[in-house]
Structure 1
Amino acid sequence: MFEQRFTRRAASVVEAAALRCARDGHAEVTAVHLLAALLEEQEGLTAAVLDRSGARQRLASAVARNLGQRPRVEGGGSPRPDRSFAASLAEAEAQRTASGSDYVSTEHLLVALAVAGGQAKDLLEDCELDLESLKGAMDQAGAQAVTSEDPEGSFEALERFGLDLTAEARAGRLDPVIGRDGEIRRAMRIISRRTKNNPVLVGPPGVGKTALAEGIARRIAAGDCPESLAEKRLIALDMGGLLAGAKYRGEFEERLKAVLKEVEASDGSVILFIDELHTIVGA
């Protein structure tokens, strides 16, 4: 019913709202059921906004109380959408159009509840999550037009699929690299170039290619590096994480593009280390 214009997660949330309503024995699927389903989200922009607001638990408790006070019906057939539910979906479609998105995503559903959600809108406002604060939080978290069916899977991709080696070095979690000073200096010299600055480390397994990257991270963390590399972040890309769970066509490519887009948006402050580079070929 929702696959044509909803992201996978948004369609799943709408279905979860209907299932929650049927499980609780309610006659109508309402905007509050939709809000309850959104509160179960753990990934993506919506989850980030709810977590950073600090109101997720308080809002979840208020939603549970609201739904717990509703009468139960037995043998009444499948629950039907009420006016607030239908109005929220219509508003989500309007939010999709206004944002220039190709799909209705979970953040559109959340904003729609703050506009046309009836009791769900009241619950959000009681937790200081009105329309203005939600949109402000989403803009701050990096809201963009939704152009794929799985935007939640690529949200903050660099943080999800990368390990900041410079942060690990500052925390003392990287071992010293012995006997590779020449190779480290040469790699750093190549990285410091304006062009042709992508060194490829080639060698049999176990010779210390990954250790070389860790050695560069330790040098940057200690300030023992060219000025052009100072304050840079060396991030190791987790290829296993990128590939894991990519069950839909093009999902791995979407994740990789999201990582590269974040690296590009960093304006040169991120150096990306791709271990096992050959695994990308044909992935």
Structure 2
Amino acid sequence: MINFERLTMKATEALRLAANDARGRGNPEVDGPHLLGALLEQEEGIVLPVLQKIGVQVDGVRARVQERIGRLAKVSGGADPTLSRELRAALEAAEKKARELGDEYVSTEHFLVGLASARGDARAILEEAGADEDTVLEALDTVRGSHRVTDQTPEDTYRALARYSRDLTDLARQGKLDPVIGR
């Protein structure tokens, strides 16, 4: 079973959102689509850039996630949902992939790889969108670069350059730079 103390803040938040979604919908289990939906809602995370790098239509994936969640079993009562077999397998695959990549913590990108590799609804949704385990790993390597997950907030450093700088080459291509006069 996954060590929840070795999760990053965003990974913990995603699991909490997935559990809250399952509870709110009356689902007895937190399943892969719940977690995938939670990952897609994290605007500041690394999952969206990875999927966009692959060319995935994120809105289409969101719609498929909601459709699959809508078909899950519902129960009445206040019992907390448990982790489904699919989600446990995905979390274990995520932890294994984190170790293989030399990361100290399990992050949201590991969850995405785990969901893409573990048999179930989330994997089917990702594969339909063109994001199988291999393409996710390739895109992750491009987006993440040589960064490793060594603390609980690695997502803040992955895209720091994009967040705190301007791509002058891209702005020049778009004609949005003022010409330099007098040189």
TM bin, normalised by shorter chain, reads 0.7 to 0.9
Partner of 1:93: 95
Amino acid paired to 1:88:
A
The answer to whether residue 109 in structure 2 is matched with residue 130 in structure 1 is no
In the TM superposition, 1:78-157 aligns within 5 A as: 78-143=80-145, 144-157=147-160
CA distance in 2, matches of 1:72, 1:29: 11
Contact 1:29 1:81 in 2 (8 A): yes
CA distance in 1, matches of 2:105, 2:87: 18
Partner SS, residue 150 of structure 1: coil
Distance 1:167 1:112, change over 3 A: closer
Query: How far is 1:148 from its partner?
Result: 2.0
The answer to whether residue 51 in structure 2 is matched with residue 59 in structure 1 is no
Identical aligned residues as a percent: 34
Partner SS, residue 97 of structure 1: helix
Q: Please point out which of 158, 176, 181 is paired with 1:171.
A: 176
Query: What are structure 2's unaligned runs of at least 5 residues?
Result: none
1:49-76 per-residue CA deviation (whole Å, 9 max, x = no partner) reads 1233232111111111111122321115
Higher relative contact order (CA 8 A, sep 6+): 2
Contact 1:44 1:155 in 2 (8 A): no
1:89-145 per-residue CA deviation (whole Å, 9 max, x = no partner) reads 111110110000011010000000011151111111111110111111112223432
Amino acid paired to 1:171:
K
Instruction: Provide the aligned length of Structure 1 versus Structure 2.
Output: 178
Which is higher, the Rg of structure 1 or of structure 2?
1
Query: How far is 1:166 from its partner?
Result: 7.6
CA distance in 2, matches of 1:57, 1:165: 29
CA distance in 2, matches of 1:94, 1:43: 24
Query: How far is 1:43 from its partner?
Result: 1.9
Query: How far is 1:28 from its partner?
Result: 0.7
Amino acid paired to 1:147:
T
Partner of 2:20: 19
> TM-score of the superposition, structure 2-length normalised?
0.86
Contact 1:28 1:79 in 2 (8 A): yes
CA distance in 1, matches of 2:139, 2:39: 16
Distance 1:138 1:73, change over 3 A: same
CA distance in 1, matches of 2:47, 2:169: 29
CA distance in 2, matches of 1:61, 1:149: 30
Which one has a larger percent helix, Structure 1 or Structure 2?
A: 2
CA distance in 2, matches of 1:166, 1:117: 42
> TM-score of the superposition, structure 1-length normalised?
0.57
Distance 1:88 1:161, change over 3 A: same
Query: How far is 1:165 from its partner?
Result: 6.4
Distance 1:31 1:163, change over 3 A: same
CA distance in 2, matches of 1:172, 1:127: 36
Partner SS, residue 74 of structure 1: coil
* CA RMSD, Structure 1 to Structure 2 (Å): 2.4
Amino acid paired to 2:131:
L
Amino acid paired to 1:126:
E
Query: What are structure 1's unaligned runs of at least 5 residues?
Result: 175-217, 225-283
Contact 1:85 1:117 in 2 (8 A): no
